[in-house]
Amino acid sequence: MDTLTYDAVVVGAGPGGYPCAIRLGQLGVKTLCIERENWGGVCLNVGCIPSKALITAGRKYEEARHNFDEMGIVLGGAPTLDMGKLQAWKGSIVKRLTGGVSTLLKANKVDQLVGEAKAIDPHTLEVTKPDGTVVRVQAKHVVLATGSRPIEIPGFSFKDEPVMDSTKALALAEVPRRLVVIGGGYIGLELGQMLNKVGAEVTVVEAQDSLLPGFDPEVTKLVARACKKSGIRVVLQAKALGWEQAEDGVVVRIQTAAGEERLAADKILVTVGRRPNAEPWASALGLQVERGQIVVDKQLRTSVPGVYAIGDVASGVMLAHKATHDGEVVAEVIAGHTAFNDARTVPAVVFTDPEIATAGLQEHEAAAKGYTLKVGRFPWVANGRALTQIETDGFVKVILDAADDRVLGVTIAGPHASDLISEAALAVEMDAEALDIGLTIHPHPTLGEAVMEAAKAALGEAIHIVNK
């Protein structure tokens, strides 16, 4: 058996693993990156990127059906969707980005190996390549960036043709006539709304008493209202029991407070969360695990010297940008630099309609921590740029500590929330005060003005709304 020797080995080439390997290469550390399936990981191949491509297409399709006429743009007839062309376009984006990952690794002198890795000891791995041959790899430092996978629930096997995880949903060859989504979190709502926009009849089944559990109640009500307006049925406090084949598609059985109900469908999308890929590594190496994730310190070190964990498989929120930050921090640590994962906030973005983004504490979270609050809220209906885009649902909310007007958090629901939240994340990270945002001149007419106005509104100084 051949043995390869490196200073560092990164297992997984997703949004945590490949940036970690690139940074290690930049820092002069002899590095190998191992990937068993797709360079770029779930995010680039069957997650963040392809889902946003389809969501964008869904929004543009809806604009063509509704907004164009209001603007005076007259089409020759109702728009139609060519799902084959849409999937080909999505695939071209994925191919371009994943190819870029491999190029960047090579440019930074990082070796690449395709295969399934397993741990022999904290410094030794065995990698089974696609042709069945096995290579032994030894390294001073091993970084686990093995990601996560969709959770399967009893009675709904992803092996069954009508039952989809997010990966299968992103590869649909045609739009299902009827779709039941089990799980009203961000993945289910993003994909459910997208398919609804292009013609699917959608029902969302959620076990808890609201959509998007954990988000600001004002935001969840806004999304629920948008679902109702678009014809999406939402069933809350309901449990999915199972499904059975019917003459016309399938029937999904759910348990509600009123009793058992049967939902007709053609496809079933199960999105109840993701499970970290921690088990084989934890058992082989004796790593400490809590709630399914490998426990790490602020330098991403595990309980076993020389072994690190980053991204979904490690402690913390399961978001791609958190994984990237983890990877860059651990690269600095391995290279002997002083670095810590001490970020004040990891922004969260949900690409629903309307979009949602948060940085720092949400209002209900800050109140639960005992802060006395000042809250500034600016509605999109008062923003000129939002009006010109016919996107006026939602608001920007800035939450301050009343003791010193520091920005505790920002919640945005509405157009381009995902783009606007970075200013808010910077404000939280630098411990800014409301006036740091409010006295910064924002260009006009832009959506960004709403962040400035919301910060001023928290102080009672907003110009374009009546201050409370």
CA 335 to chain centre: 29
Which pairing describes strands 124-128 and 116-121: parallel, antiparallel, or unpaired? antiparallel
- Name the nearest CA neighbour of 158 among 54, 276, 268: 268
Measured in degrees and rounded to the nearest 5, phi and psi for residue 81 equal -115, 125
Give the span between the Cα atoms of 212 and 337, in whole angstroms: 39
Asked if 44 and 98 count as a contact pair (C-beta separation under 8 A), the reply is yes
Active site residue 325: no
- Name the nearest CA neighbour of 45 among 170, 185, 187: 170
> End-to-end distance of the chain based on CA atoms, in angstroms?
73
Asked if 25 and 110 count as a contact pair (C-beta separation under 8 A), the reply is yes
DSSP sequence for 142-171: EEE---EEEPPBTTB-TTSTTEE-HHHHTT
Catalytic residue among 321, 337, 416, 444: 444
CA 373 to chain centre: 29
Instruction: Report the residue count for the chain.
Output: 468
Give the span between the Cα atoms of 403 and 366, in whole angstroms: 13
E strand spans, 247-368: 249-256, 259-265, 267-270, 274-276, 289-290, 293-294, 307-309, 348-350, 356-360
Q: Which residues contact 188 (CB under 8 A, 6 or more apart)?
A: 181, 182, 204, 269, 271
382 DSSP 8-state letter: G
Identify whether 354 is preceded by a cis peptide bond (ω within 30 of 0).
Answer: yes
Identify whether 130 is preceded by a cis peptide bond (ω within 30 of 0).
Answer: no
Residue 114's Cβ-side half-sphere holds a number of Cα atoms within 13 Å equal to 9
- Name the nearest CA neighbour of 148 among 133, 132, 167: 167
Helix or strand (DSSP H, E) at 427: helix 417-429
Just list the catalytic residues: 444
